Amino acid sequence: MAWNGAPDAKYRTMVKGDYEVELQISEVVTRGGVRRVTWLLDKQDEWISVAQLPGVELERGDRGPGMVWLCRVRLHLPLGARLMRVESQPQRAGPKDPLAYFWSARSSTQKRVERSYFQVGDQGRLIRIHKPEQ
């Protein structure tokens, strides 16, 4: 399999016209919280987790320091299939006054969520696209 331009993704051409795509989903403990990467497939204008699709191959990856879990997901996709990569990570908070703790309500860690959209192109490469119209 060859790496393409999308992070955490590989591709291979299939005989039937579909392409085998390998995506990595993970959760890692980072400074300030947890960084999570997931992939979703657009199925008839509904985004579904690739790990929950029928017929996918799931393979657990090696866990290193801070790695909660790592999973490789292999699935067959036709030309033009659309994917969304969702990465959430803790929002970096600026410096605070040490006494601010007493004046502010407790809240869960703020997260920064980044969504990137891809489409299966020629030879199975994932091509970055703009957010699809719904």
d(CA 37, CA 27): 7
Tokens of 84: 């969304």
**Residue 70 pLDDT:** 95
**Residue 107 pLDDT:** 53
- Whether residue 91 has pLDDT greater than 90: no
SS3 20: strand
* Phi, psi values for residue 101, rounded to 5°: -55, -40
pLDDT digits (tens, 9 = 90+) for 92-118: 766 666 666 556 555 556 889 999 999
Give the containing element (helix H, strand E) for 11: strand 9-13
> Bigger pLDDT: 129 or 123?
129
d(CA 86, CA 34): 14
pLDDT digits (tens, 9 = 90+) for 1-29: 444 456 667 666 565 778 999 999 999 99
**Residue 99 pLDDT:** 63
CA 90 to chain centre: 15
**Residue 3 pLDDT:** 44
pLDDT digits (tens, 9 = 90+) for 33-90: 899 999 999 998 899 999 999 999 999 998 888 899 999 999 999 999 999 999 999 8
**Residue 2 pLDDT:** 46
Pairing mode, if any, of strands 19-30 and 9-13? antiparallel
d(CA 23, CA 46): 19
CA 15 to chain centre: 27
The predicted model scores a pTM of 0.78
Q: Which amino acid is at 22?
A: E
d(CA 91, CA 33): 9
